[in-house]
């Protein structure tokens, strides 16, 4: 019996490694769309507008709205089509979105360009679920490594996306940036080919078990959920607010080249994902609240560096700190939220959380262009302080509550 069980586990592990390897490659390809879009999306929107440039980041707002919608659509698509097929549909949407964005640039149609980025964002909402697919396709003892592999794919995306923007932005000259978005088309089609080799296990019949599920309204009013949700959303919104405005500040405000701005975004996205290999270890050792607090303090450090000056190193270092602060703040806050509900309550709580999260992120990307046009880069940096301080207060209160309740 033991030999049969061992063989069964070996078979599961082999299948899991195969699926996770395929998903990691797919993540590397599909995930490139986001850093590419954020590298040049605001600049492309800026060049399409007339005298009033305050809506320059509206296309990136469309991207974030698309991610929020995609997070909802992928759940329905997975139920009807299966996860593999839904990921392939998401990749196809990315290819269509890239084509629409390029066409909009040729036709100088701002809102069509915003629609193209919304479609790319919709594809990104599908991509967000790849890490869950990798975990669900793996035995319990391999789930941690599976997620780490997917995060490694995020680092590749951080390099590939911005480099494509640099290499292809003048491919379709004299229309700047159209080539970068057309470059998404073969990339997304390649992802579809990779995904065709997936053989994911059926997870639809898993039983929730345990205690009965509580109503959503009962869960979302608990101190732990509120703390995790506000800190996670604040970390993500601040990161998006600053990342969206940084290329505009560098190119339009300070005269740096778009290539230098793109490289800044590349280092920023690498800083977002690279710490993930040890963030989990830090959470295990020091606790989620302390990791979140560290992330918030690092975000304050980003504001300090950005406010010190407008040299290239100020922008690049601020963007790196922004990425690391997001990593600690968002992953730690997500862990707090995850500990506030039971397994059978996960779908409805995660759905509610993601709708509020990406809705807020969309608003932050939209307001980024408005604030930059009206007040400039220095005022954008000041936004970090009140938000981070409120979150730190919530974290301290949560730590005290946990200590009273005997939580570690």
pLDDT in tens, 61-80: 889 889 888 878 877 787 78
Structure tokens of 164?
């494509």
**How far apart (Å, rounded) are the C-alpha atoms in residues 122 and 395?**
32
Split into its structural domains, the chain has a count of 2
Here the CATH number for the domain that contains residue 358 is 1.20.1250.20
pLDDT in tens, 224-234: 999 999 999 99
In a domain? residue 208: no
Q: Check whether residue 151 and residue 245 sit in a common domain.
A: no
Q: Check whether residue 401 and residue 263 sit in a common domain.
A: yes
Polymer length in residues for the chain: 408
Share of the chain above pLDDT 70, in %: 89
Domain of 138, in residue numbers: 7-197
Q: Check whether residue 124 and residue 224 sit in a common domain.
A: no
pLDDT at 407 over 90: no
pLDDT at 126 over 50: yes
In a domain? residue 207: no
pLDDT at 144 over 80: no
Place of tokens 């209160």: 397
- At residue 305, the pLDDT reads 97
**How far apart (Å, rounded) are the C-alpha atoms in residues 377 and 384?**
12
pLDDT band at 210 (very low <50, low <70, confident <90, very high): low
Q: Check whether residue 137 and residue 248 sit in a common domain.
A: no
pTM above 0.85, yes or no: no
Q: Check whether residue 242 and residue 283 sit in a common domain.
A: yes
Confirm if 251 and 262 have CB atoms less than 8 A apart: no
pLDDT at 338 over 80: no
State the number of CA atoms in the 13 A half-sphere of 25 facing the CB.
14
pLDDT at 1 over 60: no
Q: Check whether residue 166 and residue 277 sit in a common domain.
A: no
State the number of CA atoms in the 13 A half-sphere of 352 facing the CB.
18
- Name every residue whose Cβ is closer than 8 Å to that of residue 189 and which is 6 or more positions away in sequence: 91, 95
Per-residue pLDDT, averaged over 343-363, amounts to: 77
- Name every residue whose Cβ is closer than 8 Å to that of residue 198 and which is 6 or more positions away in sequence: 19, 22, 23, 83, 84, 87
In a domain? residue 299: yes
């Amino acid at each position: 019996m033991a030999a049969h069980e061992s063989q069964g586990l070996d078979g599961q592990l082999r299948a899991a490694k195969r699926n996770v390897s395929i998903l990691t490659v797919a993540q590397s390809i599909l995930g490139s769309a986001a850093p590419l879009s954020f590298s040049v999306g605001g600049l492309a929107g800026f060049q399409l507008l007339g005298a009033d440039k305050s809506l320059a980041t509206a296309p990136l707002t469309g991207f974030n709205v698309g991610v929020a919608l995609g997070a909802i659509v992928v759940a329905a698509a997975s139920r009807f089509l299966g996860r593999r097929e839904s990921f392939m549909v998401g990749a196809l949407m990315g290819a269509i979105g890239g084509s629409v964005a390029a066409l909009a640039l040729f036709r100088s149609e701002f809102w069509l360009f915003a629609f193209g980025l919304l479609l790319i964002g919709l594809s990104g909402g599908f991509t967000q679920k790849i890490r869950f697919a990798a975990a669900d396709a793996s035995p319990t003892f391999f789930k941690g490594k599976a997620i780490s592999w997917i995060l490694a794919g995020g680092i590749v995306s951080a390099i590939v996306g911005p480099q494509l923007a640099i290499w292809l932005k003048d491919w379709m000259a004299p229309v700047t940036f159209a080539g970068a978005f057309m470059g998404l088309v073969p990339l997304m089609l390649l992802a579809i080919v990779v995904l065709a080799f997936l053989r994911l296990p059926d997870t639809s019949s898993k039983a929730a078990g345990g205690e009965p599920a509580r109503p959503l309204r009962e869960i979302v009013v608990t101190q732990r959920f509120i703390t995790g949700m506000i800190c996670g959303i604040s970390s993500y919104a601040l990161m998006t607010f600053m990342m969206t405005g940084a290329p505009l500040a560098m190119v339009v405000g300070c005269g740096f080249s778009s290539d230098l701005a793109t490289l800044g975004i590349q280092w920023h996205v690498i800083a977002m994902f690279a710490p993930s290999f040890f963030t989990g270890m830090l959470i295990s050792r020091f606790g989620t609240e302390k990791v979140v607090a560290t992330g918030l303090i690092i975000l304050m450090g980003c504001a300090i560096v950005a406010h010190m000056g407008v040299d290239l190193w100020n922008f690049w270092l601020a963007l790196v700190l922004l990425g690391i602060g997001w990593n600690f703040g968002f992953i730690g806050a997500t862990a707090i939220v995850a500990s506030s509900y039971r397994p059978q309550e996960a779908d409805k709580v995660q759905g509610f959380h993601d709708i509020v999260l990406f809705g807020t992120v969309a608003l932050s990307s939209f307001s980024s262009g408005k604030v930059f046009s009206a007040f400039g880069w220095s005022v954008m940096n000041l936004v970090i302080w009140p938000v981070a301080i409120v979150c730190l207060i919530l974290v301290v209160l949560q730590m005290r509550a946990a200590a009273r309740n005997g939580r570690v």
